[in-house]
Chains A and B, each alone.
Chain A
Amino acid sequence: MTEVLKSQKNTRPVSPHLQIWRWHVTMTSSILHRVTGVGNTVGMILLIAWVCCLSNGPEAYAKFTGLIGSPLGLLVVLGSALAISYHIINGIRHLLFNLGVGLTKEVASKTAWAAIILGILGGIGMFLLALQALAK
């Protein structure tokens, strides 16, 4: 930011950017929403690969589950579950915003915390539900 100001010889007013704002939770929830959104875009490849391998027969599916069941694969699945969970919960928060609900500073901050905490719990829950289904 200082470089930007210098390059402009401190003459032009610059709108406050990330480095200038004091941290607040609604900022984090917004950034996380974008990051998880892009993450889910990449995660879509995983879903497509899953149904594609499934349609290609038992051997192809076994290969896919082998890859997904590896430590790295499980980490990707957990990360994807967290990203989906948070994006859904914070997405509902955004839909409520669009209806004009919860737009005050206090409520928006509280629901931001709620979305982050519920998002993490939901993601872990989704992961455990999938493991529990596999154990049936």
Chain B
Amino acid sequence: MNSAKNLRTPMKKALGKGASGHGTEHVIQQRALAVGLLVGFVFCFSSLVFTTNLSYESLRVWFRNPLNAATMAVVIAAGAGHFRLGVQVVIEDYIHKGSTKLLLMLASTLFAALVAMFGVFVILKLYLGA
């Protein structure tokens, strides 16, 4: 190896992560959240339409079940994580002005955090029957 031409250390090459050393986690997290969301959504939707009549009373009973409440909380939290990553890609594709991009990224992240937190709190409230 010609050290005069190549400044990369052997360790850098062995790790094979390039310049930034990160980035793949975005793709992996998006898929992992997608799988969780898929399973959770199918469970919640089918359970709701087949075991309840979507009335106030039957839904309150549905949410008193810890498995139902937990799965719905996962759907909301994983959904928020999944859409935050998705919206980030959309913003990166179409917005090229630094300040606008920063603002939109901040807004979408805060929105996702709010949706996840608020959703989980409401599910908890429903589960506790308050």
Contact = CB atoms under 8 A, between A and B. Distances in A.
Interface in A38-59: 38, 40-41, 44-45, 47-48, 51-52, 54-55, 58
B23 to A, nearest CB: 16
A133 B53 contact: yes
Contacts of B50: 133
Given A44-B83, A95-B35, A55 B122 contact: yes
Contacts of A95: 31, 34-35
B54 interface: yes
Contacts of B87: 38, 41
Query: What is the size category of the interface that chain A forms with chain B?
Result: 20 to 34
B56 A62 contact: yes
Contacts of A88: 38, 41-42
Contacts of A130: 49, 54
A51 B56 contact: no
B110 interface: no
Interface in B30-85: 31, 34-35, 38, 41-42, 45, 48-50, 52-54, 56, 59-60, 63, 72, 76, 79-80, 83
Contacts, number: 74
B37 to A, nearest CB: 9
Given A48-B118, A133-B48, A58 B56 contact: yes
Contacts of B76: 44, 47-48, 51
B51 to A, nearest CB: 9
The size class of the interface chain B forms with chain A is 20 to 34
B115 interface: yes
A92 B38 contact: yes
Contacts of B63: 54
A24 to B, nearest CB: 20
14 contacts: A38-B86, A38-B87, A38-B90, A48-B119, A51-B126, A52-B118, A52-B122, A54-B63, A54-B126, A55-B130, A61-B59, A91-B34, A95-B31, A133-B48
Given A41-B83, A54-B63, A133-B52, 5 more contacts: A40-B79, A44-B115, A48-B115, A130-B49, A133-B50
